[in-house]
Amino acid sequence: MTAVGAVGIEGYREFLVRRDGDADLLHRHLASREEFFGGLVANPVRSTRPIDRGVFARNLHRRRPEPGLSREMLFLLATAKLNQAERFGVGLGETYGHNSGEDAPPERVYIELEEHYHTRLLAYVLDMFGLPFQVVPPPFVMRQFVKLNVFIPERIGIAFVGAGEMAGCIMFDELRRVGVELFADEPDVAARIERLYSEILTDEVGHVGYCAAGCTPAERAIMRKLYPVFGRLFARQTAEINLLISSEKLRARLDRPFNVEELTADLKNETFLAAHP
Ligand SMILES: [Fe+2]
Ligand SMILES: [Fe+2]
């Protein structure tokens, strides 16, 4: 679904207020997002699949998973590990006050808070399987990649961050599809995976558009060029993704032009793209 009305960054600001309600940086609070979580908590969903917490915890700390893990376990590990990369980046940006202060444009506060909620959205996926949220640093290369994105001067960094957001969209979309397929025999679990991942995807598509809108045409070309490179890096750094999605399939998808229509076609949320990368 595409919004009518204001376009570009102006339109994106209106969309964010429509989607998220009031933003409160101090309490890390988006009014509508809290309502959304309230709805989840009021309707708990629990998978009946036996998931071994010990195996999960052990593999969360491993760079490569132990051989012979089920696809379900790999999916949960990939979810937990993407969560760690998000959390690491958001935490750094917040610690350095990147989106704080009088001169910070309102959408930056929204974007930071949305990224915060992604950690929670992914944690709720794990929660359906009785798995706790844990803090584990992402692998070395991912940490350096995240730091590069957080600390690079904004004018140079916007195309980098934008390409990272594009690659993130593909990872979340692929994992969403894998999760829905894996748990098809537990329809409410599959539906909730779809819901939680779709929320993230809706936000990330918005972030892509926001970055693209801040880019010159030459920078947008850099975004498009870097995006498959970053996508492959994310997949390599999260070994579970490579085991879940064949590298040929992922490569083929990343080699095609970034397709927002395809990404958003089955999202039930309103989505907004301030500019196409
Ligand atoms: Fe995110
Ligand atoms: Fe993002």
pLDDT digits (tens, 9 = 90+) for 229-243: 999 999 998 999 999
The tens digit of pLDDT for each residue in 54-84 reads 999 999 999 999 999 999 999 999 999 988 8
Q: Angle, nearest 10°, between helix axes 8-20 and 187-213? A: 150
Closest by CA to 80, choosing from 129, 32, 140, is 129
- Report the separation in Å between the CA atom of 118 and the middle of ligand 1, taken as the mean of its atom positions: 5
Neighbouring-strand partners of residue 271: 2
* DSSP label at residue 32: H
CB 209 within 8 A of CB 274: yes
Q: Distance (Å, rounded) from C-alpha 13 to C-alpha 210?
A: 10
Q: Which residues surround ligand 2, an ion (CB under 5 A)?
A: 165, 204, 207
Band of the pLDDT at 223, cuts 50, 70, 90? very high
pLDDT mean over 120-124: 93
- The residues with which 29 forms a beta bridge, in sequence order, are 24
How many angstroms does the Cα of residue 127 sit away from the middle of ligand 1?
19
Find where tokens 């309707």 sit.
43
- Reduced to 3 states (helix: H, G, I; strand: E, B; else coil), residue 249 is helix
C-alpha distances in Å from residue 23, one per residue of 6, 33, 37, 94: 20, 10, 15, 15
Per-residue confidence (pLDDT) for residue 4, from 0 to 100? 52
Note the ligand closest to the C-alpha atom of 172: 1
pLDDT beyond 90 at 104: no
- Is pLDDT of 5 > 80? no
User: Distance from the CA of 122 to the center of ligand 1, in angstroms?
Assistant: 10
Report pLDDT for 149. Answer: 82
Report how far ligand 1's centroid is from the alpha carbon of 119 (Å): 8
The DSSP secondary-structure symbol of 138 reads P
Residue 129 has pLDDT above 50, yes or no: yes
Which pLDDT does position 31 carry in this prediction? Answer: 96
Global pTM value? 0.93
Q: Mean pLDDT across the stretch 30-48?
A: 96
* Residue 1 pLDDT greater than 60, yes or no: no
What pLDDT was estimated at residue 3? 46
Ligand nearest to the CA of 208: 2
